[in-house]
Amino acid sequence: MSKTIAIAGLGWLGMPLAQRLMMQGHIVKGSVTSVKKASSLQAKGVDAYAVDMTENGVIGAPQGLLKNAEIVIIMIPPGLRRSSGADYVLKMSHFLIEVEKSVVSQVIFVSSTSVYGDAQGVVTERDMPIPENDAGQQIFKAEQLFFNAPSLETSIVRFGGLYGGTRQPVKFLAGRKNLSGGVAPVNLIYRDDCIRIISEIIKQQRFGHVFNAVHPSHPLKRDYYPLKAEALSLEPPMYAEDTDELYKQVDSVNLKLVLGYEFKQEL
């Protein structure tokens, strides 16, 4: 059944997701952060709105984005790297007010596996996240704002490291020496699987759940990235000697149990 879907964040993941959902017959609207970007997308036939989440409120046309939308998919980058001091929770609380003003009844909140701490080891959706830094703490609080909102039925999708297309994490590691964390398992997911998982949540109406969206294969970084570098004709990264540190491995129970999802591509 066709739905009207708003995507807050037409970026590297949001734009191809919008295209996939439109191909499936849905009416899709989306937001970018500036009027210039919105105008450029509108010229290409995309129903785009300028909406910027700030700590002082939501700037732009949030109600234009949300008008008639039954579902909103939130994929706003938290911008919390390098201790920026940004208050992501406050930004999302402002947007929640806008969502609650609208006719939206279902939400997919795109979160991150950074809500889990390394000291937790192997985790699934059945484990309560114990974030180890400010970014993880803020992302966890933000997702819970929507998950616990009484007027909304929200599914949380915690993506692992995203890659696909031109985004290849090994490019940032190529040629580097004495890297730490070589015995850490990778927690990665292809963009195509991200898009399929979100599409399946909508198709199957699996709202009210938490999904750890991470490929089930977890090779060690010291084994995985040198092979990836070689495949791309890059200088392989070199890792320091093993340590006894504990690293998280993010697995999923709900992708199989609730969604019946099978990954389409090997790492």
Identify each DSSP E strand in 170-261 by its residue range: 188-190, 210-213, 249-250
Q: What is the pLDDT of residue 80?
A: 64
What are the pLDDT digits (tens) for 138-174? 999 999 999 999 999 999 999 999 999 889 999 999 9
Q: What is the pLDDT of residue 243?
A: 72
- Cα separation, 29 vs 8, whole angstroms: 9
**What are the φ and ψ backbone dihedral angles of 257, each rounded to 5 degrees?**
-70, -45
Confidence tier at 265 by pLDDT (50, 70, 90): confident
What are the pLDDT digits (tens) for 39-65? 999 998 999 999 999 999 999 999 999
- Domains, the chain, in order of start with CATH, read 4-164+188-216+250-257 (3.40.50.720)
Q: What is the pLDDT of residue 245?
A: 83
Strand partners, 51: 60
Q: Find the farthest-apart pair of alpha carbons in the chain and give their distance in angstroms, rounded.
A: 56
What are the pLDDT digits (tens) for 7-35? 999 999 999 999 999 999 999 999 999 99
pTM given for the model = 0.95
The angle subtended at Cα 126 by Cα 141 and Cα 219, nearest 5°, is 95
What are the pLDDT digits (tens) for 93-117? 999 999 999 999 999 999 999 999 9
Cα separation values, 200 from 14, 24, 122, 196, 261, Å: 15, 11, 25, 6, 8
**What are the φ and ψ backbone dihedral angles of 22, each rounded to 5 degrees?**
-65, -40
Cα separation values, 148 from 43, 46, 142, 152, Å: 38, 32, 10, 8
